[in-house]
Structure formats: structure tokens, C-alpha cells
Amino acid sequence: MNRVVITGMGAIAPNGNGLDTFVDNSLAGKVGIKPITKFDATKTGITVAGEIDDFDPKAVVGKKAARRMDLYSQYAVQTAAEAMAMSGLNEDNIKPEELGVIYGSGIGGLTTIQEQIIKMHDKGPRRVSPFFVPMAIGNMAAGNISIRFNAQNISMSIVTACATGTHSIGQAYREIQDGRAKAIIAGGSEASVNEIGISGFAALTALSTTKDPAKASLPFDKDRNGFVLGEGAGTLVLEDYDHAKARGANILGEVVGYGVSSDAYHITSPDPDGKGAARAMQLALDDAGIQPDDVDYINAHGTATHANDSGEALAINKVFGKDSDVLVSSTKGMTGHLLGAAGAIEAVLTVAALQKGKLPMNVGCFNQDPDCQVNLVNQNNQDEPNAQYALSNSFGFGGHNAVLAFK
């Protein structure tokens, strides 16, 4: 099978617009959660979110193109452009038929759906935008990226809720491993910080009602009380190792393993025993041909909900042992939960952390829950210059589990 390396990355997240800003801020522990300003959230009972407030669609996406894209597609195109520029791939060194896209979103064009349904209700069906469907459907991040970069190999979208980004990267890895593509633009995007998004998750009682942005998202903390909704996108350019070497590409890291499973348990709650999560982690290790002791870091799903954090900690204990030295952090204390984009920005950050020899801290844990017995990254242990292997975990509503192993 072909080796698969990473030659480009891009990101936009609540704590950083652009790869370097996002990585630097995350490794410094900067929280991007803030009071909601995109709409009046008073009646929802939710006051904070991982909003992006410095995005200019004209800068990269372009004014005309942006008018035909929902915000989630705009985020995707911007980060894909950043990743492709870093990769150095262009029409001179890769054929269109060799370049693909696997890119997903958990919800798709939710802002467009909300706006157009209101318009139809208030002004009638003839006032619905002719671009409603191509803006709203969940495959159009992939479609727009494919068009932008003339990627004529596979172009598809995966929708597995909060595991979407990780599944997209994992499936891209499989395509290149098997020789069906030379390079694939992969990742996930989400833009659901709007009235229906916040209201829907609030109705599920899934969101934190805390008003203090610094104490709203508390992964693995005993007082955690729900996740904070975030938005943004993460993109990786995955490439066949031989192809990358032949053109002199700068290799950022390698995807060495991918594990998937299903809890088959509940529509929103994870299996409390963590069996599915543990199996996905073990499968990723097996695929990479490494042992638990080889892993230096786990970027946990860590949503700051009671069910997820305790179940994930139990799953980590099952695979690595309760006395393992592996370091763990959830970065959602800084970004909130980006749903279908979460696994993508966390993959970007995990690769960058291995590159820099510095791990992101588990921001937001003030009093670690005794039921979450994992070694959390803090200021005292985040410097790991010899770190070589890491896992990135994502678990979605519906029981979808996906884990990537990076080197």
C-alpha cells in the first residue's frame, strides 16, 4: 500500500483565522469562545459560542463566488486555498484526474436554510432564492473546492455528525493508499452558530448555559455541563509519499492509521462503556502497526458533556491502561465544538503539535473528574520535543466513531 503524507494544511477557528494564528493561539491556550453577537440569543438561554468574527469572504473566496455559497462553504474554500498554497500542488505537478476532494459538513448550509424558510414564510414561495438548494446542500463544500482547484478525481462528502472531518480525512487516506488518487483535499466545515442551530442544541439540553466564556467549555472537569457550539473549518492536503518526494514537497507529517466503528447504541448518547470508541482506537493502532506505548499524545473528542468525557476516558483506559503515560487533551475548551469540522481542525492541530514538539493544553479543566482518569496536558508537560505518534479521536451522534493515527 502507498504511504500517505500531509503536504498542506489550512484552518479557520474561533481562536484563530488562518493556520499559523490558529496553531500559535491554540498552543498558547487562547480561548476563542465569546458572547454570541450574530443574533439575539436571549430567549435560547445560551449566551456564548465559538464565533468567528474576523472572516472576510471577499479576501479569498471572492465577492461574486461568496454570494453563491453558504458560510460553511466559504470557510471550506478559504482553508482549502490555504492548504493548497502550502502544498505547492498546481497544474504543473499534478493532473486534474489525480487530484480529489473528500470534504464534509455535519449540517451543511444551516444559515441559508434558516434565512430562506423565513423568507418563504413571510413573503411567499416565489421569493425563495434560486441558489437556495446549491447553497444549502451538504455536499457543496466538496463541490466548490473541486471546482476551485479543478480536482477531477473523487469528489464526495461524508456526513457522520461530529465524526465527519475525521472520517473524511480517513477515507482520503484509504483512497491514496489504494492508489486511486495521488492527492486529495480533505476536511470538514461547519457554520451553525445561528438561531436554529443554537436553539436546536439547546432544546436537546446539550449546550452549556454558563455565561463566562472562560468557564463554559470544561472538558474532563467534574463541573462540566455541556458543550459550546463552534464554527469554522480545517483542511489537509493528503498526498502519495512517492509523488510528494518526486516533486520536492515539504512533508508536514504522515497518516499511518485509521480506525472506525459504530456504537449501535443510541441516537445521541455514546456507549457508556466506551466499547466502540476503544475499538476504533485499537483499529487505528493496528492499522499503523504500533503499540499503545508508542503513542505520545491523544487529541480527545472531549466535548465537555458528562457522557462523552467519562466514556472516552474509559475507552482510553481500556486501550492504553489506567497507568499509561500517554498525554491527553481536548482542544474544545478553546474552540468549542465545531461539529462536522471538529475532527478536521483537531487533525490540523495534532499534526502541527507533532511538528513543533509542543502539545495543546487541556484548557477548561479546573477540577478533573475522578471518573476521567487520563493524563491531561498542562503548562508543565506540554513540551514534548520527541513526540512521534499521536491519535485524534472523533465520535458523532448516531454512534459514529473515527480515529486517525499520525506520525
Give the 3-state DSSP-derived string for 90-137, with helices as H, strands as E and coil as C.
CCCCCCHHHEEEEEECCCCCHHHHHHHHHHHHHHCHHHCCCCHHHHHC
Tell me whether strands 253-262 and 400-406 are parallel, antiparallel or unpaired.
antiparallel
Is 337 in the active site?
Answer: yes
Long-range contacts for 264-269 (Cβ within 8 Å, ≥24 apart)?
264/399, 265/399, 266/399, 267/397, 267/398, 268/204, 268/206, 268/397, 269/307
According to DSSP, the residues that pair with 103 across neighbouring strands are 187
Rounded Cα–Cα distance for residues 193 and 195 (Å): 7
Rounded Cα–Cα distance for residues 131 and 207 (Å): 32
Question: Could you tell me which residues come within 8 angstroms of residue 147 by beta carbon, excluding any fewer than 6 positions away?
Answer: none
Selected catalytic residue, list 167, 337, 365, 372: 337
Cell numbers for 327, please give them.
Answer: 498525554
φ/ψ of residue 360, rounded to 5: -70, 135
Q: Say how many C-beta atoms besides its own lie within 10 A of residue 150's C-beta.
A: 13
Selected catalytic residue, list 167, 243, 301, 400: 301
Helix, strand or coil for residue 327? strand
Is 162 in the active site?
Answer: yes
Alpha helices (runs of H) in 149-274, residue ranges in sequence order: 164-177, 195-203, 241-246
Residue 68 CB burial class (10 angstroms; 0-12, 13-18, ≥19)? middle
Q: What angle do CA 143, 148, 150 make, to 5 degrees?
A: 90
Is 365 in the active site?
Answer: no
Residues labelled as active-site residues: 162, 301, 337
